[in-house]
Amino acid sequence: MSNLVIVESPAKASTIKGYLGSNYKVIASKGHIRDLPKSGLGVDIENDFAPHYINIRGKGDVIAQLKQEAKTAGKIFLATDPDREGEAISWHLATALGIPMDKQCRVTFNEITKSAVKDAIKHPSIINQNLVNAQQTRRILDRIVGYQLSPFLWKNVRSGLSAGRVQSIAARIISEREEEIRSFLPQEYWTVRAVVKTADGSEIETHFFGKDGKEIRLSTEAEAGAVLEAIHKSPFLLSGIRQSQKSRMPSPPFTTSTMQQEASRKLGFQSKRIMKTAQELYEGINLGSEFGGFSGLITYMRTDSLRISASAQEAAFALINEQYGKEYHPASPRQFKMKPGAQDAHEAIRPSDVNLTPDKIKRYLTSDQYRLYKLIWERFVASQMSSAVFSMLSLDFTVGEYQFRATGSTLKFKGYLAVYDDSSDHEDGTEKRSLPPVSRLVEGAAMPLADSAANQHFTEAPPRYTEASLIKFLEDNGIGRPSTYTAIISTIIDRNYVRREGKALVPTPLGEVTTKLMKENFPDIVEYQFTADMEDKFDSIARGEDTLHAVLSDFYGGFAEALERAKDNVKAGDVEIPPEESDVPCEKCGRLMVYKTGRFGRFLACPGYPECKNTKALGKDGKPVEKKTTETEVADFKCELCGGTMVLRTGRFGSFYACANYPTCKFTKQKINELGVDCPKCGARIITKIGKGKVFYSCERYPDCDFSTWDLPLSEKCPECGDMLLYRKSRKLVLCRNKSCDYKKENVEK
């Protein structure tokens, strides 16, 4: 009697099958098997917020298979992901399969490797009901908000809209940044640059610092001009030389958030693509017999912990020592400080086996898998290496009453930078220029001015959020959890509250109007601190310190009152979504076109509709796609109904002739396309026709000659019987028209 192991995904099942042997059967549930119904609220608010779960539509066959296998299994192990969502899936599986909740059937592993999986199977535990309740509380809370707020939005904004607790916050963040940008007033400032010469003729570029030892900002051209005038009258005296050595520690290994930020910045991946690829690396890749077949390449990718196991650190030290030398790793393993509130259930994201270097296994990975794995591998290895060491030099110059400064740095010891460049994480605004050796500089020496310039600048508005910067904001403010960031961003884009403009996230008029309505009527729902506090409450439930009922009761009273007030205060027609105007003129009437969203995405439309119905498609870059203009082909025959000119048109089934007086006259005639193949029955031409919405082929004398076929007639003859050959595109098959002849040829491209 074999044992049964249930996981979420087929890919994970394939990897684990190779580790457990023939005495284990591994089956995938393919995600959740039960959920709240889509057709209704599914929560009994009057009965302690009891949820009503049903089997998910389309999961009947999976559930039936799991029940059948469970009946004959010796032991059942629920090996879903090691987080709240995974715990809830195991709980639903146990409920559906009739497994007692006190039975030790739950197994978890942070990495899908042979040793980790086998060890987990040896040490099963009971399902953690606290984690399940934390997931249920989030699910029920989000269902209440979504299902009770959405009808309010349908009535007052636009039908078909939906609201979400954390998604509404994300839309607010992006909308408020857009308001900041619009209201931003640039401030003028000036910089003064001066190049001086040393005694040996080398040059040093300096910048204005201030006056009397205090840093000064030059706000006007007059102030900058005064400095320029002064430095031409007095010599530059080297008044200070400061040398120092600076160590730069490596960045810690990835959490979910930092992985998404870095992969977005360095690889240009969107968060959905990042998490999909990370899931593939975690669940397992077939590395061939050379590396033992299927193997999970990274640890669990949904984590906000910076902890690394001792065995992983030892393996990293050995690799660093072998490839770079002892000086490239610190005397003792690094310990990184985690942010307050971070969960420590799993390790940071790291390679399961650090010795599987990216280049070793590159040929087994897709391009996305290789690039993300390389990023994770390099970040982890670098995090266990010695600090980089820089020699810092700062030179102060006095010219009259003003001070100028030059700073520079040189890399003295690469340390972790030999593996991973994280310089963007350590920007401090300091100029990093190459300066002459200190041995060639004499404090108090006068240096002549070689060049100078004053430059005007203006302060810039804050940048729009990108996926990376939005994720960082959410994490820094405790909004959502690493596992939810991708879903949050996808949802606000899919609902047309936000659109992408290159890498930037830009609020739509719909998003801004909805955000304003939510802020005015449901301030708690879109309040940053409120949302962060809810995350803390979910955590307290997971720790067993709070209960589902207490958290939901505390929330619902205020929410229900706010909803009733909003229904009284906001009337249909009060909310108007302003059109989003473009700078593209309508070529038919001259009005500036506006952006619209249809079933196939955004497009430009003339605001003069219905008088002017002009539209323009938008390309991937968001710019209008110009319609191709072609010369109209005029037929050599007239319309049979009105005598008008017939012109060639193209439709979904090919070319046809239509009356030029359309829509007054709707006469059409199919264009005859000859194949250059003779009819096997009468010798006339075979032409293309359309029937039942599909192209078929028939004799031009049809119906006098009844030859027709759905397959493409070929000019070649059958080598066995001499009859016509036909090509069946759906199967890439050439076969003889004569049904009594068995000739056929497969895998033919035509």
Burial of 566 (C-beta count, 10 Å sphere; 0-12/13-18/19+): middle
Distances (CA, A) of 182 to 331, 391, 455, 582, 688: 52, 43, 26, 16, 59
Cis peptide before 703 (omega within 30 of 0): yes
CB crowding 165-174: b at 16 or more within 10 Å, else e: bbbbbbbbbb
Give me the residue label for tokens 């929330």.
555
What DSSP assignment string belongs to 476-538? HTT-S-GGGHHHHHHHHHHTTSEEEETTEEEE-HHHHHHHHHHHHH-TTTT-HHHHHHHHHHH
Indicate the Cα dihedral angle 569, 580, 268, 459, nearest 10°.
-90
Q: First-to-last CA distance in the chain?
A: 53
Q: How many other CB atoms are there within 10 angstroms of residue 33's CB atom?
A: 22
Q: Which two tokens stand for residue 197?
A: 């010469």
Which residue stretches of 353-399 are H helix? 358-361, 367-383
Nearest to 232 by CA among 424, 448, 512: 448
Nearest to 3 by CA among 113, 118, 91: 118
Which residue stretches of 543-612 are H helix? 548-569
CB 518 within 8 A of CB 164: no
CB 396 within 8 A of CB 239: yes
Q: What are phi and psi for residue 655, nearest 5 degrees?
A: -85, 150
- The continuous run of DSSP H or E covering 322 comes out as helix 310-323
Tell me, what amino acid is at 373?
Y
Total residues belonging to the chain: 750
Q: Which two tokens stand for residue 583?
A: 């700078």
Distances (CA, A) of 97 to 39, 68, 73, 323: 25, 9, 12, 51
Q: Please indicate whether residue 300 is annotated as part of the active site.
A: yes
CB 89 within 8 A of CB 31: yes
CA 6 – CA 80 distance, rounded (Å): 7
Q: How many other CB atoms are there within 10 angstroms of residue 522's CB atom?
A: 22
Cis peptide before 235 (omega within 30 of 0): no
CB 221 within 8 A of CB 228: no
Which is it for the CA torsion 509, 512, 515, 517, positive or negative? negative
Q: Which two tokens stand for residue 427?
A: 């920007």
Indicate which residue of 19, 300, 324, 370 is catalytic.
300
Nearest to 577 by CA among 214, 213, 159: 159
Query: Counting runs of H as helices and runs of E as strands, what totals does the chain give?
Result: 17, 35
Strands lying side by side in the sheet with 733-736: 712-717, 724-728, 733-736, 744-745
Catalytic residues: 300
